[in-house]
Each structure stands twice: as C-alpha cells, then as structure tokens.
Structure 1
Amino acid sequence: MDRILTRQEASDAVGGDGWRYLLGSLRAQVPAASPADAAAMAARAVAACGEHADGHLRVDVRADRVVLALQTLDLGTVTTRDTDLARRITAAGLATAPGTPRPVQLVEIAIDALDIPAVRPFWKTILGYADESQSDGDTTAAIVDPLGEGPAVWFQRMDAPRPHRNRIHLDICVPHDEAAARIAAALAAGGRLLSDAAAPAFWVLADVEGNEACVTTWQGRDGVVSGGVEMRL
C-alpha cells in the first residue's frame, strides 16, 4: 500500500533530482526548445508513469517548458507512489531545472472572514470553482479551479473586524531553498518585511502602501496557526 509521506520525507526523497515539494505536491519544470519538443516530453512523462499517470500526474505544456506535478489525487497529498514516479520521470531523461526560467511556485489567494461558511459560497460560485478533493464537505475548506488554471482560494478566520487592513492577500508558495532569494528581491523592489515570526512557514511582506503578501514554504508548518485556523499545507 502506498504510504503518505511527511513534508520532510517528500522533499528529501526527490530534492536531489530537481523536484520540489509545494502545497502537497511534487513539482518540476523541464526546459523545452519548442512546443513540439514540450509535447514530446509530456508524452514521455506520461509513458514513464504508465498505468499510474491518471491518478497522479498533471502536465502543463508551454512553448518553452513543461511543468510537471505529482500528487496522489484521491488523497490530495504526496505518497511513496509519487516519489517513485518522480524518479521514473527523471530516469526517462527529463532533466528538471528548478531555477530556469523561474523556480516552480504556486500562488494562492487568502480571504480573511468572520463567517467563512457565509462568504465561501459566493467566491465558489463567482469564480466557477469547486471543493478540494479532500475537503469532505467542510464548509470552511479551500476552493479550487476544477480546470487547474486559476489559483486556489482559502479562507482564514478572523476573531474581529479589521476595517483598516486589507483582508485579501496573495500567498506565494516557493521551494524552501528559494525563499530567502525571493524575499530579498521583494525587499529590494521596495517591499517591507512586516513579520517573520512564523518563518520558515511564512513571511509577511507589504508594498509601500501596506498591501500584504506572504512568501510561504512547506517547512515549519506542523502546528502553525494564523487567524484562528491552521495554515494551509
């Protein structure tokens, strides 16, 4: 039986092959010379996964790269099967490149709310989104684009109204070994570091007018709580 891996186990298992653990999935990108080259590499990745491709592999084909994602989809997390498939894809000659042309990342939108079940249906409907596969009817769980095109939206519970602070912010999930460089670049671009109290799970930054964004990683997340709810993986 495939075993669910901890964040550390998942990262350690394939980090040396260029894969990175992000938000409950393994991700890598492979540079391509052309759209035809990218399509051919995507086919090789599917072939490497064999019968397990449908339940684990997602492929985003672009003109200059292929972005690969592995996750045990019915569980919404990484298992030993996924790390095995990552090794198979790498062994098939798909040389992953974490930093070219930009490190793999995932963006989420976080919405602060006093009553999450009350606001969640609006965002789910207006975006045309669906429940996460592992939400099990949870009326406070994140919502996702069923086509995989838009960022996930998750909800953070507030204890009291905050009329003078933005209540929607972006979370930029980056590989753990890329966080320091991303933060330094954001600060050099005029940003401010508001808090690193929860680092390395997340750092809170803001632009010159106080609009906030968080740089997040998978590290340091066990037991991390923000706004009354546990932070997303």
Structure 2
Amino acid sequence: MNRQELSDAVSDAGWRYVLGTLMTTVPVGSVAEAARVAARCAAAAGPDADGHLWLDLRADHVQVSLRTIGEGRPGERDVALARAVTDALREAGLATVPATGRAVQLLEIAVDALDIPAVRPFWKAVLGYADEPGVADDPGAAVADPHRLGPTVWFQQMTEPRTERNRIHLDISVPHDAAADRIAAALAAGGVLVSEAAAPAYWILADAEGNEVCVTTWQGRD
C-alpha cells in the first residue's frame, strides 16, 4: 500500500498515517482506565499485538500505534488491526479521536554531516540507541531508541563544510491535515517560513535567530 492508500484506509476511523506509523489517541480519565483500554487494544490485536502494536499510557490518554516491526511502513495487516482495535473500543463506549492538532506526532532529529559513517557511531553510543530494524548493514542509516521513548536521529549528507547555519535540526511529523494549523501557530509565535519548495512533504521554518525546524507530512512522497 502506498502512503495515500494507507491514509485513506484509516482516516475515517480516527487514525492518521504519520512517519511510517498508523496512530490514534484514546482519551481516558485515569491510569487505571488507560490500562483497561490498553488491554482491550491488545485483545483486539490478538496474536499480532507483539509484532504490530505499540501503546503509550498516560493518565489522560492512550496513544495507540500500529506498524509492522522490521518494516518501513504499515501494511494491509496493520490497517485491518486498526479497524479491529477501533471496533473493540467502540463496543466499550470508547472512541478514537481524529488525530489533528497535537493528538499525535513523531519527532526526529536530523544531523548534517560530511562523513556520516564517522559520526553515526558516536550518536548511537552516546544516546544508547540501536540500529533501526532491517538497516544494521547501512552505515548511513538512522539510529533509534530501542524502547521508542526518544526521537529517531537520522543523518543528512553534506557536500561541503557549512558554518553559516545550524547543522542539527528537528523534524516534526504531523498528520497531513494538521500541518497548516501547526505552521500558522509557529509563524504567529514569531517564526519565519524559510522554504515551502518541498511542500507538502515538508516546510522549513526558523525561529527569530534562524534555528530551523521542518514540519513534515507523508504527502508528496509517493
């Protein structure tokens, strides 16, 4: 399934496709309720839970994510699981909420480097990170938190030394229908739009001192 097909397949159920992951949020009123929601999600996923389902439990919400472990993006099984989880939640009087605004997002850190194989081991070691599944033999691949608590760090190839701008920037991956509001809020807060040449894949913004951030979506990448 391509990105458009993945997004279309789950949007009406309150899920969004963000950075290779299907995500939604379930509002709850306590940690105890969050645990019950998590158990219901796991039961709905059945034997596929361990290979596809990730849950983040908080006192006010449960973030539910689906992605086939070891694959670069979800597949048809993940879409089916998203619908099964949604149905199970609805049967319990719970609802997934459309993941616009701040409901779901994923953060990445991009490090610009002339010699990626030389700097990548440092970031992997100092952060206690690991190779992303399936890319252990790629010396230029991103490194990821094995516990999925911290942002992924990826490396952008430079062609010549650069000193006039920052060489580490953030990538904020948001639902495709949340990007416009996020960008507007950033500009209203004093930011500037550096470039929209690659939109809707990403927009480059900067703060008042020129520190850059990319707001990214899945669109424009297939």
Scaled to the shorter chain, the TM-score interval is over 0.9
Q: Tell me the residue number matched to 1:70.
A: 66
Alignment equivalent of 2:32, drawn from 14, 30, 36 = 36
Structure 2 letter corresponding to 1:61: L
Give 1:167 shift: 0.3
Question: Which position in structure 1 is the counterpart of 2:95?
Answer: 95
Q: Distance in 1 between matches of 2:63 and 2:98?
A: 10
Distance 1:105 1:74 in 2: 20
TM-score (norm 1): 0.91
Q: What is the one-letter code of the residue matched to 1:175?
A: P
Q: Distance in 2 between matches of 1:135 and 1:114?
A: 20
Contact 1:98 1:104 in 2 (8 A): no
Matches within 5 A, 1:137-156: 137-156=137-156
SS across alignment from 2:43: helix
Contact in 2 for aligned 1:103/1:178 (Cα 8 Å):
no
Q: What count of residue pairs does the alignment treat as equivalent?
A: 218
Per-residue CA shift, 1:110-153, capped at 9, x if unaligned?
Answer: 00001100100000000000000021410000000001110000
Question: Where does residue 132 of structure 2 map in the other structure?
Answer: 132
Q: Which residue of 2 aligns with 1:182?
A: 182
Runs (4+) off by over 3 Å:
none
* AA matched with 1:189: A
**Unmatched runs of 5 consecutive residues or more in structure 2:** none
Mark the runs of 5 or more structure 1 residues left unpaired by the alignment: 223-233
CA contact (8 A) 1:110 1:171 kept: yes
Aligned-residue Cα RMSD (Å) equals 1.2
Displacement after TM superposition at 1:98 (Å):
2.9
In the alignment, does 2:101 pair up with 1:105?
no
- 1:101 Cα offset (Å): 7.9
Q: Given the superposition, is the C-alpha separation of residues 50 and 180 from structure 1 closer, same or farther in structure 2, using an over 3 Å criterion?
A: same
TM-score normalised by L of structure 2: 0.96
What is the deviation of 1:99? 4.8
Indicate the percent of aligned positions where both proteins have the same amino acid: 64
Is 1:12 equivalent to 2:8 in the alignment?
yes
Residue number in structure 2 paired with 1:217: 217
